[in-house]
Amino acid sequence: MTDKTELPKTFDPAAIEAKWYPHWEGTNAFRPERPGAEPYTIVNPPPNVTGSLHIGHALDNTLQDIMIRYERLRGKDALWVVGTDHAGIATQMVVERQLEAKQDKRTNYSREDFVQKVWEWKEESGGAITRQLRRLGCSMDWSREQFTMDPHFSKAVLKVFVDLYNQGLIYRDKRLVNWDPKLKTAISDLEVETREVQGHFWHFRYPLADGVTLDDGRDHIVVATTRPETMLADMAVAVNGADPRYQSVIGKFVELPITGRRIRIVADDHADPELGSGAVKITPGHDFNDFEVGRRAGIAASDMLNMFDAEARVVQTADGLIPAEFIGVDRFDARKLVVERMKALGRLVPHVVTAKDGEVTEHDAEPRTIQTPYGDRGGVVIEPWLTDQWYVDAKTLAQPAIEAVKTGVIEIVPKSWEKTYFHWMDNIQPWCVSRQLWWGHRIPAWEGPPVEWLDFSKAVNERGHDPKAPLPMFVAETEDEAIEQARAFYTANGRLEGKALSVIADGEAGLNQDHDQVTVRLRRDPDVLDTWFSSALWPFATLGWPDAAPAPFVPSEVEGRGETVVQGPSTALGTNGEGAPGTSLLAKHYPNDLLISGFDILFFWDARMAMMGTHFMGQAPWKRLYLHGLVRAADGAKMSKSKGNTVDPLGLIDSYGADALRFFMAAMESQGRDIKMDERRVEGYRNFATKLWNASRFCQANGIGASSSVAAPAATLAVNRWIIGEVVETVAALDKALADLRFDAAANAIYHFVWDQFCDWYLELIKPVLSAESDAGEPSETRAVAGWVLDQILVMLHPFMPFITEELWHALGERSGDLIVAQWPAPQAEVNAAAKAEIEWVVKLVSDIRSARVEVNVKPSEKLLLGVANSNPANDALIERNRDVVMRLGRLSMFTWDAVPVEGSLVISHAEATYLLPVADFIDIAAEKARLSKALEAVSKEAKSLEGRLSNPAFVEKAKPEAVEKARADHADKSAEAERLAAALARLG
């Protein structure tokens, strides 16, 4: 695609996008073969295989693509790793819903058959988002597309689990989890959304046991709760040790109504003497705070009472004290039943309300707005539930990741996020990594029977086993390895009394025996791993680990210090031909250069990648971490489907083109601040693309085409020397902005160069040269410079607007290759100060003339005389050299150095001269003064009013942030308008 073609009159983004993306992908342009080039690597946050492109994806992937295209143009071996996440819960739900639509369900199938159905769905319907990323123009290396359930990736996941287990960093524990009773699985904090729900606060009297009373004579303690049903599993009442009301009863007991359970009164700072009665009921098996209070009180997790099954229905507790009428009852029905029973027992403390007229009424509970956790997928209230799960010792793994940021090995941008990162990592809790699903990486752990059962020196009824003791667990990457572990374990620890031992894995833990043969049966853990566990390996498992060796550390002595430092990586490893001979993809591209992600997954993904990377690779996974903000609705509200304020990026692409949406994202992204969606701005950037299109058509029509030089052409005309200098400055501004990850500054630099300097001024300034209307210079020089500048624009703009730039690149002339793999600008020129000053003088004078005319409503068709006063020889020389262009662009009839009366003229002060535009013959001076004065008075009044609001602390502190921001923007607009009107009045004298 290198033939020069005449550009159509109309810019059609859809046709261009449909043309170029398949071409790029088909020519392997997204990963050009550059074995000896410096690597540059980004991995994308893998979207859910069930997902579709949302506005957050559009932002995230646009920023990544800008950096990849930029570094590719700079000659680097730019690799953007792409793939999708298997999304355990989301994907299983999609397939289950499909079954339900056919009056079918998951449990009608074996686990293996259901998983096969998921794979079938994935092949037929999964990965729609990858097609949508192509529409956005993402130049990802699709030839190496990854999926977190691919065999090579699954191998890495299993190895990490087994290695961490063998290192004591993964273990089984009984703790509280966020349990979704609809999905019947534990979920992560990220999958919990908090909603405000109108609920109630009940107060109950718990009677003191053994005849004990409080100092004030009461025989009970009052506790309050929003979840009365959990009292069926209460195990303590907590009071503050410093609360004088309860000093005498700490260590004593209360006897719970309904169950009759005796529970101890414990001292704990969790109880706040200032809140309610100062006494708190403790249900450690069903509340996260209570769990910690219970542990501090000496209650082991294995002894904590559980009163719910997986569907949040009441089950009997271990002590058997819940009355039969509650068993099998849904949690919310149990709530009503508990309140009824407590009221009947006289243990409910009524909520007393006194009306304005003095009337007193009693209610069972106090109305309260309660922050309630919901599962974002199941859509039901989440239940804190005590279960046995697999946990990662995140605190240990976090330490090297913390040091990596502290020492600057990882740079977090914006730096303000470091404090948040350290706070979370310093206080990190054990990470629950098991999920009760069928789809996902199945945990590689097999459970066997108690070793006591293999003591054949005793009778069967003497081979006891503590039911609370954990069963033997065999963790291995394969079933065969687990069987070998079990065989060695039971041979060493059993009392086989000469019996032969065999081990099989057949689904249930147990054993069979006959006279001379014992068969141990192993049960594989049915759970799968949390999706975030596998995605934490993304920076290195996608590059071939563990099959490919990581880049090794090469120690060397630092001269004069005797210290060992890390130098490398070495290129001596690897066999897959990536990079230099013998260098693996992993060795060349790990660590990655940059990670771009939303701040909302800093802890769930970014921090966990930092932990896994530093632990398994010995190096942090990336050098820089850029955290961008959220895309919000136009009014600043968070987007959500429930609010109906979401924006479909594909709809925006259909309306305005991918280039316009991409440029909007870049221009609005300012170091992690949230972005307000503004469709008018997207439309404005489509207009920007159209302006470039039309400018290119003008160039094409005037014999300006592709340049054959990377370096700037020779130039003698001031206008050409000026525009070359503007290219030099724009390249420097872009390089600095992208090095600093200031996407807004980069977009602003190229936007203003294209729109202002090139389209609005340069092309206008060179028209006389191109049309031979003057003898101002040779057209050949100007055509060469203009073609070169337009080429530089296409290259500089390409990372932001890849489609239109590639189309124009080929339309303007013969090319040896595609723009996507062209060379980043290297002008090999300097800014010419004299030329810059001269053209800026012209631009400023013409701009002032145009503004002055518009402000007093002089018709564009009227040509005005321009009088020059207070000038000097140097200024006169400038005028003479640029007389024709100033007259043409300023719509002037002539310059004159003769005296022009100030009265009835517009006065313009510029450089070292004063210019007078007589307008009395074209407008009513008095009327214009009156109009301007009236407008100035009105806008000044509005500006003053807004200033008063903004200087009022009550408004700034109490008003909604978006209201304050709007007031500031309005004040700035009104103030600027007042300045403009005042200047216009001053010009009229």
Calpha distance 95→107 (Å, rounded) = 12
The CA-CA-CA angle for residues 600, 382, 297, to 5°, reads 100
pLDDT at 549: 64
Does the pLDDT value for residue 560 go beyond 50? no
pLDDT at 565: 27
Average pLDDT along the chain: 90
pLDDT: is 461 or 783 the higher one? 783
The enclosing H or E element of 180 equals: strand 170-180
Overall average pLDDT of the 276-286 stretch = 94
Token pair in block for residue 420: 């948040």
Give phi and psi for 698, each to the nearest 5: -60, -45
Give the residues across from 194 on adjacent strands: 373
Single-letter residue type at 891:
R
Q: How many CA atoms lie within 13 A of 733 on its CB side?
A: 18
Residue 471 contacts residue 449 (beta carbons within 8 Å): yes
pLDDT at 134: 97
Residue 94 contacts residue 124 (beta carbons within 8 Å): no
Strands 146-147 and 366-375: unpaired
Question: Which residues are within 8 A (CB) of 260 and not within 5 positions of it... i.e. 6 or more apart?
Answer: 321
Q: Report long-range pairs for 318-324 (Cβ below 8 Å, ≥24 apart).
A: 319/261, 321/259, 321/260, 321/261, 322/232, 322/259, 323/258, 323/259
What SS3 string covers 3-69? CCCCCCCCCCHHHHHHHHHHHHHHCCCCCCCCCCCCEEEEECCCCECCCCCCHHHHHHHHHHHHHHH
What counts of helices (H) and strands (E) characterise the chain?
Answer: 28, 36
Q: For a pLDDT cut of 70, what percent of the chain falls above it?
A: 95
The band of 564, judged by pLDDT with boundaries at 50, 70 and 90, is very low
Give phi and psi for 625, each to the nearest 5: -125, 115
Ranges of beta strands (E only) in 307-363 are 348-349, 351-354, 360-363
Cis geometry, peptide bond prior to residue 569 (ω within 30 degrees of 0): yes
Query: Cα torsion at 285, 286, 287, 293 (round to 10°)?
Result: -20
**pTM attached to this predicted model:** 0.87
Query: Cα torsion at 688, 694, 695, 700 (round to 10°)?
Result: 150
The enclosing H or E element of 794 equals: helix 779-797
Alpha-carbon distances, residue 726 vs 537, 756, 881, 882 (angstroms): 45, 11, 21, 19
Residue 45 contacts residue 601 (beta carbons within 8 Å): yes
Token pair in block for residue 230: 């959990």
Give phi and psi for 95, each to the nearest 5: -70, -40
Cis geometry, peptide bond prior to residue 400 (ω within 30 degrees of 0): no
Helix axes 55-73, 128-136, angle to 10 degrees: 60
Overall average pLDDT of the 426-430 stretch = 94
Does the pLDDT value for residue 114 go beyond 70? yes
Q: For a pLDDT cut of 90, what percent of the chain falls above it?
A: 72
Q: How many CB atoms lie within 10 A of CB 800?
A: 27
Overall average pLDDT of the 505-520 stretch = 87
Overall average pLDDT of the 42-63 stretch = 94
pLDDT in tens, 917-969: 998 888 777 777 788 788 788 888 888 888 888 888 888 777 877 788 888 88
